[in-house]
Amino acid sequence: MHVLDVSTLFEPELLDRLPINYRYMTRLETSTFGEHFIGQRFSTSTAHYSRDFITQGLYKPVSDWVYPDFLPPPLAPLPDDAPDI
Partner 1 sequence: MILVLSQQKFEPGTDPVLNWLLYNRIPFVKVTLQDLVDQRVSYTVDVDNQDVFINGRSVRNDVEVIWHRRFIIDLHRVSRQIEGGSHPQLRSELELEIRELLHCLSAIFRDKTWLTPFDRIGVSKLTMLQQARAHGLAVPRSKVLTARADVAHFLADTPTGLISKPLSDGRSYYLHEGDTYVVFTNLITAGSLNELPERFFPSLFQERVPARYELRVFYLDGNCYTTAILNSTADKNVDRKLDSTASSTHYVPYRLPDSVNWAVDAFMRASGLNTGSLDFIRSDTGAYVFLEVNPVGQYMAESEKTNYKLDRVIATWLQNQTAHACS
Q: Which residues bind partner 1 (CB under 8 A)?
A: 1, 3-4, 6-9, 16-30, 33, 35-38, 40, 42, 45, 47-56, 58-59, 67-68, 71, 74-80, 82, 84-85
- Nearest approach, Cβ of 55 to partner 1 (angstroms)? 8
Cβ-proximal residues to 24 (8 Å cutoff; 6+ apart), any chain:
6, 8
- Report angle CA 61, 62, 63 to the nearest 5 degrees: 130
- Nearest approach, Cβ of 63 to partner 1 (angstroms)? 13
Separation between Cα atoms, residue 56 and residue 41, nearest integer Å: 7
- Nearest approach, Cβ of 67 to partner 1 (angstroms)? 7
